[in-house]
Structure 1
């Protein structure tokens, strides 16, 4: 089945039908419409429906009604249940067969006379065949009303007035339908479910787009927002391991297991099981049945059970529909399709004629809102009779006011409504129309209550999915009151509800998202299952069944506490949680019965903190959880601050003034006087161990006064722990956790969970343990999701190791990681570029790089040795030597100087080395630009000019203070450095770099050094004009410190340093560079013009000169327009910037003057 084609068709069909129904509605509602004369009752009903809901809602309803009918008719056509075919042509023809037959004079029985009158020309019409076909289609739909009233309403229904006009053209909805629903695709009624899910998918996207705007999901949008279609093999697993497992102990001689390819047999013989005398006794419910996928396969398996018991095949379908299957749904559309799907199952077994004679209808209960006023409840007492009108019934009658919102989560107070229902149905109120209408409403409500009674042997479902942020207020409050242990998501509430619907010792089976298996939010839910029920089997499928974003788990639970709690089978169908596979690939892994099959005793899960469903852990690891103390004994782990407005309060450290930035080692009181605005801020970051990810600062002026008073308030979690030394990790990761040390002086973010202790040795132990393989395997037990919180960390079992080991190991590993981090200019402790360190400098850059690279290798090797030693210590301490090795892959040595970590290991080692060499040369050029602007100096370490508006005079004064009287390399005086494609200015960026290279590595090897650099990154001028700024944006994460002024086509480019920006900087650029460049271009144009007319010049020279004249003329025009429209107005404005505002706010002030930064607006911290 080509689901992509089905999706494309269903989505386009929805839009087409909505458009056509909208157009038809305008015609029908016109005051002079023919419909008002010919079908006034239907028009009246239509207008009433619009008043009760809305015109848009009615259009949606009619569009999906016809979509359902058309797809149902096509399915029945293909499978031979219609005669003649209604929407499909006979073989070899193009018209629908029912129309072709009518044209041949073969009208259906009891067909309206108007059809023949149109086809014979007795009734005038612009398109008699189209009009006749519409009547034939209505007649066919009405003909199916008796067998399937849920899908084909009776004659006169207003949906017939709004039938789409175009049904016969090659581009009509029916032509597209036949193409999408090819005959081979209609082999299984499951196609109906796929089509429905795709039909509502755009509506689902719309609902979630509104949710991002904090528009909650209303009751009418819950179906679109929460439905996911279940792959057929998962349906089989769920039904076979619930219904099949229920039946087999009752019939030890049954051969049913041979038909159940997805059945997981119990590990031990089952003696305590629910006794079933005959198939009719089995009650099965899907409380969120959607389009009926679970029920249709349950029908198949029940049919096999009945056949094995010797029942007459002609009677089995009616017996199944009458006795065995109940579906509950809030969506009228889906409910109709579920009933249709079951009807088609019956038709497939019975054939058309027997099916049409079958009186039993599928038991699909579509919940409806039912409201009784206080006065009406008095009338209800008369309908029911005072003997039956108990307090429980009274409360039940008020429970369905929000049925479309709460769905199957309604728990009727009346435990057994059947007796009351029968008594009410038996009353005769034919003489009192008011009471008769009241009786109908009460009967409808009691039927719904009866469906929701706890009586089922098997409950099976793919529940709705909705977290608390999406819930409307009424739903959220209801769940808090009635499902406190599972209220965080509808799917977990349905787990609880399914258990309640299930009879003692019955089975409930479900597929959902596996968060409930591990998250602390659902701990009580897990404990209830583990303590009071039996997980019969579980399939942890990983990502792919529901697309790439979510994992999936399917499971079957027996509602009884097994004595001795036998082991059950658990399957883990993935290696890494982030791996995304197709449903078919996951199915293949399931069918390989040896692939990741585990036997586990669920009592063992209760010994693990939080009781996660950690079925895969070894006996040795279980012993650790049972005996070892927790990390909470040595550290206090906390979640940090949430600003609620990161773009306002958080910066990359290089965006702000150095003199306003607090340094490491400061305490909270150091920020009280307002002189320091920005405090170091731990925000987590990428996978990096020991030290690093130190890039952010937080606005903390006056001890965080602005943040503290923010409305709506920021969340100031754990403020007493701000500025304390910590061990920290990012709470969200798709790979593995990495732990780093943060010294005194940091505030920490909500995503940077952090651990604290009064004893430095305990922090050493926590850091080393966190970065060990032993911790990694334990952490995946406590919480194997992408989140690992502070509570999870403190729950981790901790076995003490000698403090001398961890103190020494921490010291050495942190020092290596710190040295690596500080070697790059995005570290605030960067002092000078490593190539210029006396430890490595040789005669040439090539030789110097070789020395530096050898040092980096030694660093990487030493870190690998330390990490493997760390692993050995903790593997031995935890007794996990049979499960883990201490080896650490080179790509996990998290030093930037390690190319296997920096670039990954997909390419060859030679490719990584070449890339590292090129990047190092690019970093050398970046450092050179820093020296050109005075940010750095060759004569003094660290930052020199890094405060707002500083000048060359400030540079010289700072160096004078550091004992440098004559700098070896002077920065640019006016903070404007041209970046052009030729030698237009003697002090442009290329000329300055050449001087820098001569100063740093000498004149003797200048050409050799320049050639070595260009061998790595290409021509220097091309690099600066084409690549440098891209590299700068990447290095500084779209928060550049050097800003590129650039004309629209890049003819003129110049860099400025934002910390040295002054209100007259644009004027300097305009007068000293841009206008001067235009004058030089005009001179060049004149030279070329003269050369093109020079008769003494060679012809090819003249031709080339003539071509270049045109190019230069265009450049001049570009720059003159840019000057006029952009640069000159900016220069006049003398814009002031405040570095505290950050790049994101300051950069756009210059508009088209600056090179655009793609994604600057979206690149929030």
Structure 2
């Protein structure tokens, strides 16, 4: 702020002092000088200005750095699920450790959505010796490289609401959009996190920087108002733990081990009972996080005498757990609508996990990733899970059709999964409950049907697989799908899923001979058995004719690509590999 502007601000303030109006503040130029950068912040109280005077700027206490800019994210960055698991070097302490591992990818902090304490850990950076040398020459030349792989507190530069600070353990590089502050002897991770996420700091940020961008300079100008209080540090550790457990409960975390519904402490004989237990646990976790955050706020407010300016309250929408519907679903929704959305998404997550078990990515018998490296097959699965209770699909091709034409039909396989996971005696009830949840019925009492595993429930689930599963998969995996839907077109004549990590150059030929041509033969046979005397039969014959015509056209393209024996390289990423099957797979 120039001297001239400071004088103008002071003059305007004095000129209005004789005519009081609502929201009127009086401040001298000297008041503004107390704040680094001297921003025009009339509504900051004397108490808060005095904190700026009493406490040195954070930049004098906490080393803060801007991360790298690759100049070509498509070349150097991937989501972790796109590549071979064995090519990722997790938890490295320095670059030499990465180079010794001979692995190509390391975790990368790229900022991300509004989320406090822990999370937003899904990106990788290409950082083998060759890539590192190239990055050193381009982009912004690996600034602060000596701080790579060290534990840090980070935040996203662009924020649409409050600024959120998160803990990143050792092993991460960091991006220009994911700036980092590093603890040293003067402060701890917990102190930085609590200060960053407390209401006091967010109040200051909104006043002195009312933009959606919060950079390293903004962070450095905040007062280092740390409080020596063991309770605050203890709270911070609990908050990090809750946030990490929540993040790891979903497939897109590399530390995902098992679906909450199937964990021993929650799993019951039915999906409904299991969901009821999990939902209660989620609510307890949300309530506890809210209590801890409010306790931290209260300690800060009382320590700095801000009781007349701030309250410790934290709205549920700012308890940043994915299992908290008030945070997960934006907008003005009723509690009933929120519960219906959460139930529907949890059923979709159950289905997604089941599909992962069908392909061998996961197993109901062992936590964590099983088949997650390029070219792995059933023999690799059996080395890790010698006596599986649920066998993955043997050929990595699962048909998704409007009827049960094959023994590995996806709905049939889903039933088998439910029998193993929850017991065969409860299949009908579980099928009805899942169908009810997918249909958007909000209460547990409404969500299940007749309890008989009705045909309508099977229709709901089959329609979900055909029409909505892939759309949800694309959304969950941020348009970088790991299961690919091969589809003949709008008539839904032929659909089949494959798992890209198990793909090999013979997959398309097998899909054509064992599924596409076999389905065409079955449809022709079915058409021949139908009489066209009834309206229902005429409608079905018309649909079969369209499907057969679509299959014949699709077969020409599939045959050409099968003969080409296409190979893929997971290091190239989904976008590049998927493009090689254009016309055969559903568009992203």
TM-score normalized with structure 2 length? 0.93
Q: In the TM superposition, what is the alpha-carbon distance from 1:894 to its structure 2 partner?
A: 0.5
Contact conserved, 2:246 with 2:323, CA < 8 A, in 1? Answer: yes
Aligned to 2:434: 1013
Contact conserved, 1:671 with 1:703, CA < 8 A, in 2? Answer: no
Contact conserved, 1:891 with 1:905, CA < 8 A, in 2? Answer: no
Q: In the TM superposition, what is the alpha-carbon distance from 1:674 to its structure 2 partner?
A: 6.5
* Residue pairs, 1:303-314, within 5 angstroms: none
**2-side partners of 1:760 and 1:998: how far apart?**
56
Q: Does 2:324 match 1:898?
A: yes
**1-side partners of 2:40 and 2:537: how far apart?**
78
Aligned to 1:1104: 536
The DSSP-based 3-state class of the residue aligned with 1:754 is: strand
Which of these residues, 1112, 1120, 1123, is aligned with residue 555 of structure 2? 1123
* Residue pairs, 1:1067-1106, within 5 angstroms: 1067-1088=509-530, 1091-1092=531-532, 1099-1100=533-534, 1103-1106=535-538
**1-side partners of 2:371 and 2:242: how far apart?**
28
Q: In the TM superposition, what is the alpha-carbon distance from 1:532 to its structure 2 partner?
A: 5.8
The DSSP-based 3-state class of the residue aligned with 2:112 is: coil
Contact conserved, 1:530 with 1:603, CA < 8 A, in 2? Answer: no
Aligned to 2:408: 987
**1-side partners of 2:430 and 2:185: how far apart?**
51
Cα displacement string for residues 730-762 of structure 1 (whole angstroms, at most 9, x for unaligned residues): 111121100000000000100111100234952
**2-side partners of 1:1081 and 1:764: how far apart?**
64
Contact conserved, 1:664 with 1:744, CA < 8 A, in 2? Answer: yes
* Residue pairs, 1:129-144, within 5 angstroms: none
**2-side partners of 1:792 and 1:714: how far apart?**
21
Which of these residues, 67, 72, 91, is aligned with residue 664 of structure 1? 91
Aligned to 2:449: none
Aligned pair count reads 566
Aligned to 1:797: 223
Aligned to 1:1047: 488
Q: In the TM superposition, what is the alpha-carbon distance from 1:780 to its structure 2 partner?
A: 2.8
Cα displacement string for residues 672-721 of structure 1 (whole angstroms, at most 9, x for unaligned residues): 147211110001111110000111011111274243354x5443121111
**2-side partners of 1:709 and 1:789: how far apart?**
23
**2-side partners of 1:928 and 1:1029: how far apart?**
14
Change (3 A) 1:1120 1:637: same
Aligned to 2:152: 726
Cα displacement string for residues 146-200 of structure 1 (whole angstroms, at most 9, x for unaligned residues): xxxxxxxxxxxxxxxxxxxxxxxxxxxxxxxxxxxxxxxxxxxxxxxxxxxxxxx
Q: Does 2:429 match 1:1003?
A: no
**2-side partners of 1:893 and 1:613: how far apart?**
31
* Residue pairs, 1:637-716, within 5 angstroms: 637-673=64-100, 675-702=102-129, 704-710=131-137, 712-716=138-142
The gaps in structure 1 that reach 5 residues or longer are 1-525, 538-565, 571-591, 960-964, 1093-1098, 1158-1165
Cα displacement string for residues 850-882 of structure 1 (whole angstroms, at most 9, x for unaligned residues): 111111111001000110011112222232111
Cα displacement string for residues 346-383 of structure 1 (whole angstroms, at most 9, x for unaligned residues): xxxxxxxxxxxxxxxxxxxxxxxxxxxxxxxxxxxxxx
Aligned to 2:61: 634
Aligned to 2:582: 1151
Aligned to 1:527: 2
Change (3 A) 1:753 1:569: farther
The DSSP-based 3-state class of the residue aligned with 1:812 is: helix
Which of these residues, 261, 286, 289, is aligned with residue 860 of structure 1? 286
Change (3 A) 1:1107 1:810: closer
Contact conserved, 1:569 with 1:600, CA < 8 A, in 2? Answer: no
Change (3 A) 1:885 1:1131: same
Which of these residues, 601, 605, 610, is aligned with residue 28 of structure 2? 601
* Residue pairs, 1:257-268, within 5 angstroms: none
Contact conserved, 1:890 with 1:900, CA < 8 A, in 2? Answer: yes
**2-side partners of 1:808 and 1:979: how far apart?**
50
**2-side partners of 1:1107 and 1:902: how far apart?**
42
**1-side partners of 2:226 and 2:477: how far apart?**
41
Q: In the TM superposition, what is the alpha-carbon distance from 1:595 to its structure 2 partner?
A: 4.7
Q: In the TM superposition, what is the alpha-carbon distance from 1:661 to its structure 2 partner?
A: 0.9
Change (3 A) 1:771 1:713: closer
**2-side partners of 1:1085 and 1:1048: how far apart?**
20
The DSSP-based 3-state class of the residue aligned with 2:294 is: helix
**1-side partners of 2:343 and 2:9: how far apart?**
59
Q: In the TM superposition, what is the alpha-carbon distance from 1:628 to its structure 2 partner?
A: 1.7
Aligned to 2:545: 1113
The gaps in structure 2 that reach 5 residues or longer are 440-459
The DSSP-based 3-state class of the residue aligned with 1:998 is: helix
Contact conserved, 2:149 with 2:172, CA < 8 A, in 1? Answer: yes
* Residue pairs, 1:811-822, within 5 angstroms: 811-822=237-248
The DSSP-based 3-state class of the residue aligned with 2:179 is: strand
Contact conserved, 2:317 with 2:327, CA < 8 A, in 1? Answer: yes
**2-side partners of 1:860 and 1:905: how far apart?**
19
* Residue pairs, 1:441-480, within 5 angstroms: none
Contact conserved, 2:154 with 2:178, CA < 8 A, in 1? Answer: yes
**2-side partners of 1:1033 and 1:634: how far apart?**
43
Which of these residues, 1014, 1021, 1034, is aligned with residue 475 of structure 2? 1034
The DSSP-based 3-state class of the residue aligned with 2:188 is: helix
**1-side partners of 2:96 and 2:252: how far apart?**
27
Contact conserved, 2:85 with 2:373, CA < 8 A, in 1? Answer: yes
TM-score normalized with structure 1 length? 0.47
**2-side partners of 1:1121 and 1:857: how far apart?**
52
Which structure's CA Rg is the greater one? 1
The DSSP-based 3-state class of the residue aligned with 1:786 is: coil
Q: In the TM superposition, what is the alpha-carbon distance from 1:597 to its structure 2 partner?
A: 3.0
Change (3 A) 1:1111 1:593: farther
Change (3 A) 1:1051 1:670: same
Cα displacement string for residues 235-286 of structure 1 (whole angstroms, at most 9, x for unaligned residues): xxxxxxxxxxxxxxxxxxxxxxxxxxxxxxxxxxxxxxxxxxxxxxxxxxxx
Aligned to 2:340: 914
**2-side partners of 1:708 and 1:1044: how far apart?**
35
**1-side partners of 2:178 and 2:130: how far apart?**
20
